[in-house]
Structure 1
Amino acid sequence: MTIGDHLHVFHRLPVHPFPGPDERRDLPEPDGYAWRVSVDVYETEEEWTAAFARFLETVDTTRVRALVVGAWGEAYDSDSGPVIESLLAARDRLPALRAVFLGDMVMEESEISWIQQTDVTPLLTGFPDLAELGVRGGSDLLFPALRHTGLRRLTIEAGGLPAEVVRGVGASDLPALEHLDLWLGTPDYGGDSQVADLEPVLSGDRLPRLRHLALRNSEIQDAVAAAVASAPVVARLETLDLSMGVLTDEGAAALLGGQPLTHLKKLDLHHHYISEPLQDRIRQTLEPAGVEVDLDRGDADDDHGADRRYVAVGE
């Protein structure tokens, strides 16, 4: 599976694309939408920085609450550094900005594992009131440990998330964070983290307000599930998401044999390799307690054996 659709909603706002230089149309109210600024990958008429400069001159950016950064050109050849620099240079003109998504690209623009990122934490240090940060693409991505008191939601989507990034997130002091979503991916695309790298997240020591945890799209999903089964952070969660990965009966049995999960509002395991008897046990254990369980198998095909199992989003 690859990513075929751009974001339609971000930060609970509908996404509105900022028009190209030759497009003429009425613009909506600035604070009612998440604005998507993007350029054409193959036949661009302007650089992303020029499109953003035009956005600053056209829209009342003092009222803009959310920005979605789409393609900034051939993202497999150029990283997000100039984009981040442009956003930081304009921070005084974006006083209401509370959410940024960096890299909203579909496969026709760039496969997820080809998107060249960089150190994204300057967005957090530069925007101390930022409440939500989303990043797509793990190539050359950096996330050194930091403290940010306003961030409530962090999402990093990757076909392979470097262990250094996982450790950086875990070592960060994020006292307001409520929602953490990490796509761990596979070693083929740079996802070299191990369960030990997740220990600071699973302890929850630096995440006192965490309520929604997603550790998904992983080739080591069974090991992740086994670690989650005894993780202290789980007791305070409302949603646990271990979807999109290579989760088998081994991981499912570990979850069932670990701490109770009946306090959850939802357990998301979609795209999995769990047998029907184990699926039934999960439902029988959790659904009577009111837990919503997603066991949709999707396109996870187990007919060809263990060596043909795959994560939902890789290349």
Structure 2
Amino acid sequence: MTISRHLERFHGLPVHDFGEPGEEGELPGAADVAWRLAVEEWESEESWPELFARFAAAVDLTRVRALVIGTWGESYENSPEPVREALVKERERLGGLRALFLGDITFEECEISWIVQEDVTPLLTAFPALEEFGVRGGTSLAFPALAHPALRRLTIETGGVDAAVIRGVAASDLPALEHLDLWLGSSWYEANTTVEDLAPFLDGGRWPRLTHLALHNSEIQDDIAAALATAPVVARLRSLDLSMGTLSDTGAAALLAGQPLTHLTRLDLHHHYLTEEMQERVRAALAPAGVEVDLSEPETADEDGDRYVAVAE
């Protein structure tokens, strides 16, 4: 699996590309869309700061609700520091900003494992009213623990993320958080998260509003499933996502043998390594209770018995 398409909707809004110089066309209302800002990854006619200055001159920043940031140039070599500096500089005029996605980049522009990031928490600190934040790319990504009063949705998409990022998220004070989506990735790309690192997500003592938990795209999917079998947080969830990883019959059996899952509205297991017999066991246990179960994209281990996550490089 590769990321081949840009976001089409974000924060409940259609994504609108702010065009290249002279190609902006008729612009929608500032608050009516999620604005996508990107410069060409090679030989762009303008730098990202120049793009943002042109955007700020054409669109009323005080009414912008959502921003989607695409390539900021050679994203495989350079961090999004110019993006951060431009946004933080305009934080007062961007006081209505409620959603930000950093790194809406397809594989043709830059493979997910090559996208260079940085410490993204200054963006959250600069926008205390932000309700949704997403970031794609794990190289040099940092997320030291912080407090944020308004954040409801947090997404971190990587082909491999350092456990320090996960521990930083786990230690953060996010009282409004409802939706957490973490792509843990492959050890080929520096993924090293353990179940112990995930314990603060699982014990149910933090984030009382959390109703959706995605711990997926992981090589330790069986271990995560086994831990969730007795994790207190599960009782408060409405949806659980263990997709895109290396889940096998071992993990699925542990999950079914644990606490009831029939209160869930959705269990996402797509891209898995379950046998047909285990898939039927999962359906039989949950479908009669009305749980929507996604068991699409069944995979088969290779001749050496190796299993792979859906998104790595």
Instruction: Please tell me whether the aligned partners of residues 42 and 74 of structure 2 are also in contact (alpha carbons under 8 angstroms).
Output: yes
Following superposition, the deviation at residue 305 of structure 1 comes to 5.0
Tell me the TM-score normalized by structure 2. Answer: 0.98
Structure 1: 5+ residue stretches without partners: none
Following superposition, the deviation at residue 161 of structure 1 comes to 1.2
In structure 2, the partner of 1:100 is 100
In structure 1, the partner of 2:45 is 45
Q: In the TM superposition, what are the counterparts of 1:148-163 in structure 2 within 5 Å? A: 148-163=148-163
In structure 1, the partner of 2:300 is 301
Q: In the TM superposition, what are the counterparts of 1:1-315 in structure 2 within 5 Å? A: 1-297=1-297, 300-302=299-301, 304=303, 306-307=305-306, 309-315=307-313
Following superposition, the deviation at residue 303 of structure 1 comes to 5.8
> d(CA) in 1 for partners of 2:112 and 2:204?
29
Following superposition, the deviation at residue 301 of structure 1 comes to 3.5
Note the alpha carbon deviations across 1:188-207, whole angstroms, 9 max, x for none: 11111111000001113221
Note the alpha carbon deviations across 1:177-223, whole angstroms, 9 max, x for none: 00000000011111111110000011132211000000000011001
> d(CA) in 2 for partners of 1:34 and 1:58?
15
Following superposition, the deviation at residue 302 of structure 1 comes to 3.4
> d(CA) in 1 for partners of 2:217 and 2:24?
40
Root-mean-square deviation (CA, aligned residues, Å) is 1.0
> d(CA) in 2 for partners of 1:183 and 1:275?
24
Instruction: Please tell me whether the aligned partners of residues 172 and 206 of structure 1 are also in contact (alpha carbons under 8 angstroms).
Output: no
Following superposition, the deviation at residue 63 of structure 1 comes to 0.9
> d(CA) in 1 for partners of 2:300 and 2:43?
38
Note the alpha carbon deviations across 1:258-286, whole angstroms, 9 max, x for none: 11000000000000000111110110010
> d(CA) in 2 for partners of 1:260 and 1:56?
51
Q: Which amino acid aligns with 2:305?
A: A
Q: What percent of counterpart residues are identical?
A: 63
Q: Which amino acid aligns with 1:306?
A: G
- Secondary structure of the corresponding residue to residue 154 of structure 2: strand
Note the alpha carbon deviations across 1:46-97, whole angstroms, 9 max, x for none: 1111101111111011111000000000111100122111111011111210
Q: Which amino acid aligns with 1:302?
A: A
> d(CA) in 1 for partners of 2:302 and 2:23?
49
> d(CA) in 2 for partners of 1:147 and 1:303?
44
Q: Which amino acid aligns with 1:252?
A: A
Q: How many equivalent residue pairs?
A: 313
Instruction: Please tell me whether the aligned partners of residues 156 and 183 of structure 2 are also in contact (alpha carbons under 8 angstroms).
Output: yes
Following superposition, the deviation at residue 24 of structure 1 comes to 4.4
Instruction: Please tell me whether the aligned partners of residues 18 and 24 of structure 2 are also in contact (alpha carbons under 8 angstroms).
Output: no
Q: Which amino acid aligns with 2:15?
A: V
